[in-house]
Amino acid sequence: MNSVRELVRGLTVDEMRTMSMENCIKPTTASDFEKAIDRTSPSVCAADIAKYEAWMEEFGSF
């Protein structure tokens, strides 16, 4: 996805005001997801994952 900064680079304030949002929006691509994953830190540490995997091994799921 385009960042706002990329969309308005080189435009005047008046040009920005008259921009159509439909022209700014593009479909989300697999590349967008890959970039987001690269920039995102894990929310669960490896030790916690191991603990939950051990629990699943012992007790299973619903």
pLDDT tens over the chain, length 62 residues? 467 788 888 989 998 888 887 777 778 889 989 999 999 999 999 999 999 999 999 999 75
pTM, full prediction: 0.42
> To which residue do tokens 């890959």 refer?
34
- The alpha-carbon radius of gyration of the chain (Å, integer) is 21
Q: What is the pLDDT, as a whole number, of residue 22?
A: 74
pLDDT of residue 3: 75
Quick count: other Cβ atoms within 10 Å of Cβ 34?
10
Note the pLDDT of residue 1: 47
**In the structure encoding, which two tokens stand for residue 7, read together?**
């969309």
What is the C-alpha to C-alpha distance for residues 61 and 20, in angstroms, rounded to an integer? 49
pLDDT of res. 62: 59
26 contacts 1 by C-beta, under 8 angstroms: yes
